[in-house]
Structure 1
């Protein structure tokens, strides 16, 4: 299975560990979303978009946008990634 890459990566603070992860594909975005304890509106949208991208139903850039919005909602974005 090929990864669904997007650019630039979205740098986020990981929950619990306080380390940094640069998320650059839909699979990694979904993996990171599953670790989050809060599942807000943007989280739900991002998860749906990740699944659609992995199923080749949407473009990876849409995943980046949705993941970035979810990370901002959770306060996990480390710097401006727009």
Structure 2
């Protein structure tokens, strides 16, 4: 990931729907163009977070998984 991260949301250990709710709350504090990193361990986030980004018009810049932690980089629209 080569993106400047403005804020990180730690949703590790949270089960659905909390990763999406925490992502949504975190995004409200950002200005358009700022970038958020979301870290989650719930495997449901693999579909939930990208769907949320698409539905809300925000841009999913990157997603990855390492050691059971799913990471999503999202730019606020």
Do they superpose with TM above 0.5? no
More strand by share: 2
Larger helix proportion of the pair: 1
- Name the TM-score, length of structure 1 as normaliser: 0.34
